[in-house]
Amino acid sequence: MIKGDGIGPEIIEQAVRVLDCTAGKFGFTMNYVPMDLGGCSIDKYGVPLTDDTIAQAKTCDAVLMGSIGGDPKTSPWYRLDPKKRPEAGLLGIRKALGLFANLRFSVLYDDLMDACPLREDIAREGIDFVILRELTGGLYFGEKKTETVGGEEVATDVLSYSESEIRRIAVKAFDSAMLRRKKLTLVDKANVLESSRLWRKVVGEMAKDYPEVDVDYMYVDNAAMQLVRRPSQFDVVLTENMFGDILSDEASMVVGSIGMQPSASLAEGSFGLYEPSHGSAPDIAGQDRANPLATILSAACMLRYSLGEEEAACAVERAVMDVLKLFRTPDLKSENDNTAVVGTARMGECVAEAVRNQK
Ligand code: IPM
Ligand code: MG
């Protein structure tokens, strides 16, 4: 369990509350090992990720994480060398634990229709897709350097992918598609980038092994537009690291709030790290205003993918849907819904109660 920075501790507290209550109901026990990552690790140990944290994480079945980072304008963490900032810890733990497949879900719940910023006729077509973002390769992990050339600074980030890196996440994408609506969209920039052309080639070859999956190829600029124009067309979206980072933020807003988007970062096997897609929101930290639902839904993903507790996962997801009929955190509230505004802790309590009261 990594609470992290900003709103991290508050939202994790609520996810733990819901997990414990769900475990009690379904007859299993959760054991939490607290670990440090990000800013709080810098404060204690001078680095955002310690070998100890990596070693401890490896002894667990899964990692549940809040959020890391601070306000770059005011936090002393951002006066450190980029390699020692909170975000480096997050990238480091993803790499160290082999978490190459990041799943970010966008589902528009009926009861959140009014929180959706898209036109009603578009929202009514239904939104239910998952972005599979490659998480340990590409630009974020390629060689980086800043040098002086001809009297001026030149900065370089290398974007490279190998066939095997593409294939191992594409397998997860095809398998997900088979369990869903059997539609896969590869998002790339194959009209410009060499690495994208390799993604197309590998995915195109693999498509032959999945004849039932309808495979579509889309340039990332068009995908950014299609996500708001007609999001109902997407089922599984497969893409490289940076495109996935950008599109998943857009995808979260399409379903009402980034405070609703859970994520699962999976390694080979059943191990995974589960964290909300949103950041640490230092501006509202400690005010009992943060929406804990993305973290609670990430905990449900953890029950499903790493702990083998599918029924418990569904119970948590159902509880969230039930609670949204009556209560909202401020980020989800719109003028024309007749729900009550609640804080972080009360929201967690409501979800736990809803799990407890399920038949
Ligand atoms: C995310 C975040 C991270 C990323 C940052 C904090 C390094 O934006 O999880 O999407 O880019 O992966
Ligand atoms: Mg991001």
CATH number of the domain at 1-115+257-359, please?
3.40.718.10
Q: Which ligand is nearest to the Cα of residue 140, counting in written order?
A: 1
Distance, CA of 330 to CA of 290 (rounded, Å): 8
Catalytic residue among 109, 111, 140, 305: 140
CATH number of the domain at 117-254, please?
3.40.718.10
Domain ranges of the chain: 1-115+257-359, 117-254
Ligand 2 mean position to 353 CA, how many Å? Answer: 31
* Mean pLDDT value of segment 129-144: 98
Backbone angles phi, psi at 129, to 5 degrees: -145, 165
CATH topology match: 1-115+257-359 vs 117-254: yes
pLDDT tens for each residue of 107-130: 998 888 888 999 999 999 999 999
Q: Is the pLDDT of residue 256 over 90?
A: no
Residues near ligand 1 (Cβ within 6 A): 87, 90-91, 245
DSSP state at residue 287: T
**With bands split at pLDDT 50, 70 and 90, how would you rate the model's confidence at 139?**
very high
Q: How far is C-alpha 350 from the geometric centre of its chain's CA atoms?
A: 23
In the residue annotation, 36 being an active-site residue is answered as no
Q: Is the pLDDT of residue 276 over 90?
A: yes
Choice among 78-92, 112-126, 155-169, 306-320 with the minimum mean pLDDT:
112-126
Q: Which ligand is nearest to the Cα of residue 139, counting in written order?
A: 1
Distance, CA of 148 to CA of 268 (rounded, Å): 41
Catalytic residue among 43, 52, 221, 283: 221
Looking at ligand 1, which residue's alpha carbon is closest to its atom 8? 245
pLDDT tens for each residue of 207-219: 999 999 999 999 9
Please report the pLDDT score of residue 152 as a whole number: 98
**% of the chain surpassing 90 pLDDT:** 94
**With bands split at pLDDT 50, 70 and 90, how would you rate the model's confidence at 135?**
very high
In the residue annotation, 161 being an active-site residue is answered as no
Please report the pLDDT score of residue 112 as a whole number: 87
Top mutation candidate among 71, 78, 90 for ligand 1, by most atoms within 8 Å of CB: 90
